[in-house]
Amino acid sequence: MPRTKRAITHLLTVVLLAACTAAPRYGHFVSLPVTGWERKQPAVFLTDTLPPGTYEMRLTVQHSTASGYPYKELAVQVTQELATRADTTGKGFIHCADTVIKAVLFDDGGTPRGGGLSLRSVETAAGILTLKDSAAARITVTHLMRPDTITGIASLGIVIRARE
């Protein structure tokens, strides 16, 4: 019986902690071509208007263990752009920041990192987004790997949460 009580207590603790986590203000995944991700074709994420505040961005890389991504890490550039106030078409964006990220997809022994079986997910910090006024954002993710086209990356995701 004590084991059951401990399990229930643990479950309730996890549920309560999850309830206290800030809900995402934005979250979206973009599928990449099976034939390979070209450097000249970045993944683009367009947010709805976000209220003023400071936000943490997280990048999720989903890689296939079957298609053999040949490198230990994935280097990407995450570019933040904000919509100008005067532009109501959503086409006018102002460059804010570039962040270079290295996502480690395999450990030193070649074992895939992240959760999942044939499709592994690895999450990493992707920068801070600070808004003084409400604005929509365009987040662009471009790979920085040596070949122009890389295979084995199935999709990319961006989650934006209010910073606590």
The residue among 12 and 97 whose pLDDT is bigger is 97
List the structure tokens of 139.
Answer: 């987040």
CATH classification code of 23-162: 2.60.120
Task: List, for residues 11-70, the tens digit of each pLDDT value.
Answer: 433 333 344 456 778 999 999 998 999 999 999 999 888 898 999 999 999 998 776 788
Ordered by start, the domain boundaries in the chain are 23-162
90 has pLDDT over 80: no
Q: What's this model's pTM, rounded to 2 decimal places?
A: 0.80
Asked if pLDDT for residue 93 goes beyond 90, the answer is: no
Q: What is the pLDDT of residue 5?
A: 47
